[in-house]
Amino acid sequence: MFRDDVSDWNWEINVETSEEVNAYCMPGGKIMVYSGIIEKTHATDDEIAAILGHEIAHALREHGRERMSTAFVQQVGLIGFAAYISSRDGSRLSKETAIQAAALGATLFFALPNSREQEREADKLGLELAARAGYNPMAAVSLWRKMDALSNVDIPEFLSTHPSNENRIEDITQHAKVVNHLYLENKPK
């Protein structure tokens, strides 16, 4: 429904025994779920569907490939900037500082916001996928509340690859209401 070529992909969902509360998807539909996310959150079937929907959405939107392309462009730009700055007058320290500032700026103002937007997109599409499969989209809200309670790191959103837990829970709650009709139409009778 979302892509013509996904039926040709060799989809895999793998579970690795690990304390880590995480999951990820590589290009082409290779999904890894760490057992810690299931065990530590005491995830229900609906919550596991939210996790898988999110990761499937990353694959459908090719976020992994997009991140690799973004990183490549960022590196080429930094190499070009470094070559330019090296040819200019000034101390070695000032040149290195300029290059480091450019790298930090590219990360803060280009890479991280793009990554957060991909996470938001995967959250929304993942909720829709789970709802279409007959899983309650509100389970993503309960899952993120559990994950927030387990989190011992509070990184400001602008320094993170992911939306803050607070913003994410708010966004997911709103979108779950939007796609709830899909769940009601498709839930097991």
- In angstroms, the CA 143 to CA 137 distance is 10
The type of residue at 131 is: A
Q: Which residues, including other chains, have CB under 8 Å from residue 49's CB and lie 6 or more apart?
A: 130, 133, 135, 139
Query: Considering 19, 20, 55, 117, which one is annotated as catalytic?
Result: 55
Q: Which of 139, 132, 129 is nearest to 183 (CA)?
A: 132
- In angstroms, the CA 92 to CA 102 distance is 15
Q: Tally the residues of the chain.
A: 189
Active site residue 55: yes
Q: Which of 55, 66, 63 is nearest to 23 (CA)?
A: 55
Q: Which residues, including other chains, have CB under 8 Å from residue 113's CB and lie 6 or more apart?
A: none
Which positions are catalytic? 55
